[in-house]
Amino acid sequence: MPNASENTGHRIGFVGTRFAGTDGVSLEAAKWAQVLWHNKHVSYWYGGLLDTNPSVSMQVPHAYFGNPDIQWINERSFGVTTRTPEVTRRIFAIADHLKGTLYEFVRRFDIEILCVQNASCIPMNIPLGVALALFAAESNFPTIAHHHDFYWERDRFAVNSVGDLLRMAFPSTVPSIQHVTINSEAQRALSHRRGVSSVLVPNVLDFQSAPPELDDYNSDFRDQIGIAPDDVLFLQPTRVVPRKGIEHAIALIKALDNPRCKLVISHESGDEGDEYLNALRDLADNQGVDLRLIPNRIGEERGLNAAGEKVYLLADAYLNADFITYPSLYEGFGNALIEAFYYRKPVLVNRYSIFVSDIEPKGFDVITMNGFMTKDVVGKVRKVIEDPAHREAMVERNFALGTRFFSYAVLRRKLRALITNVTGLDDL
């Protein structure tokens, strides 16, 4: 990779609460940075929690939503309808501090364009959102605001004492900001609620690069998690949270009535507790469904866990899976669905709203359900399992359509327009 000094593109500063790990915002930001780098634009990083290169990064503790001061504010801002003067004072004191660090970030790296990743739409860190709004209003700085989730999409933000700040900063609508949404429903809502237009940029994968293959490391994945070679591995590649609808995956395995069918869940519960997980375990036990939870065997890197067991990439799980279950009740986009297309795996989809509006019309060949399991759905899944030719035609069609609609080439075209709006030059 060339040195930053050899590049002739623009210096773009990514701003967010966190750029670390495998959360959706961090992953999509990294894809944007990769596409920009390949076109000679250099990315710099500002956030509260970072695993980016320190030489191109500025870490500011109060930018992280997990900072104790930010958590103190959140506890007094949501679930209540009034706030005290002290809460207001702290919000603006921290916002003023963060605004100063934004000016410093721009000066330190000579930033030309800011790219705000989700920090101006979902109020995980109210002071940071306020700081960004004030910075944009004062500086008229060219900014691309990439909105993954809006606060009005989340029940936990419905009751709050900060409605004035949400209307001011989540998102700010000053003219120097270009807004980006990830689905058409969010695009329409932003226009209706804030009176501003946005560019729709879907989440993408690098379909132009061939997916990895089974190798010496991952070829024992099934054996390591207790799945026999002739078992049918149904992979649920998500966290264990209620909106993922995993009970439908259990219902599917039960209805197939085949002891070779095993359901494997790749991720843990996250920060929403284990109540749903325990309910799923009880349901699987009662239904006689073989359910395997393997979050301690999936990581960001291959290696060993604390128990000395092999840790695999999520890609390794996809490669070893026979079928993907994705019965979500709601998704902001649906990264796991696009991943299923990329890894050429057949998939069951519950027809969540964004799938219906933005993905299904493209013509993907998937098995769909409408909120409940039917004999017809079970029969279609059984056919996919038992008919290799049918399965092959299905996944090849989906890979081709994924390349057309959700590839890096699509992202490159969208970013070209956004950058050109700032520079006046078609330089991406």
Residue 114: CB partners within 8 Å, gap ≥ 6?
12, 13, 15, 106, 141, 142, 143, 144
C-alpha span between 135 and 341 (Å, rounded): 41
Contact 319, 344 (CB under 8 A): no
Segments of the chain with pLDDT less than 50: 1-7
How many CA atoms are closer than 13 Å to the CA of 224, on its beta-carbon side? Answer: 18
Is residue 280 within 8 Å of residue 252, measured between CB atoms? no
Please count the other Cβ atoms lying within 10 Å of the Cβ belonging to residue 407: 19
Q: Which of 211, 249, 264 is nearest to 378 (CA)?
A: 249
Return the amino acid letter for 220: D
The pLDDT score that the predictor gives to residue 4 is 41
Contact 405, 202 (CB under 8 A): yes
Would you state the structure tokens that stand for residue 324, as one six-digit string?
Answer: 């993907």
Is the CB of residue 9 less than 8 Å from the CB of residue 2?
no
Cα–Cα dist 171/182, whole Å: 15
Q: Could you tell me if 98 and 62 are in contact, meaning their C-beta atoms sit under 8 angstroms apart?
A: yes
Domains of the chain, each with CATH number or no CATH: 4-204+408-423 (3.40.50.2000), 218-405 (3.40.50.2000)
Q: What is the mean pLDDT of the chain?
A: 93
Residue partners of 215: CB distance under 8 A and separation at least 6: none
pLDDT of residue 225: 95
Q: What is the pTM of this model?
A: 0.88
Half-sphere exposure of 128 toward its Cβ, with a 13 Å CA cutoff?
29
Beta-sheet pairing, 303-304 with 310-311: antiparallel
Torsion sign across C-alpha atoms 295, 213, 291, 354: positive
Residue 2 has a pLDDT of 37
How far apart (Å, rounded) are the C-alpha atoms in residues 9 and 36?
9
Please answer whether residues 298 and 284 qualify as being in contact, where contact means their C-beta atoms are separated by less than 8 angstroms. Answer: no
Provide CB contacts within 8 A for 386, sequence distance 6+.
none
Residue of 124, 98, 121 lying closest to 46 (CA atoms): 98
What does the alpha-carbon distance between residue 143 and residue 46 come to, in Å, rounded to a whole number?
Answer: 14
Report the alpha-carbon distance of residue 264 to residue 225 in Å, rounded.
9
Q: Which amino acid is at 419?
A: I
CA distance 297 to 396: 29
The per-residue pLDDT for 3 is: 41
**Per-residue pLDDT at 281:** 95
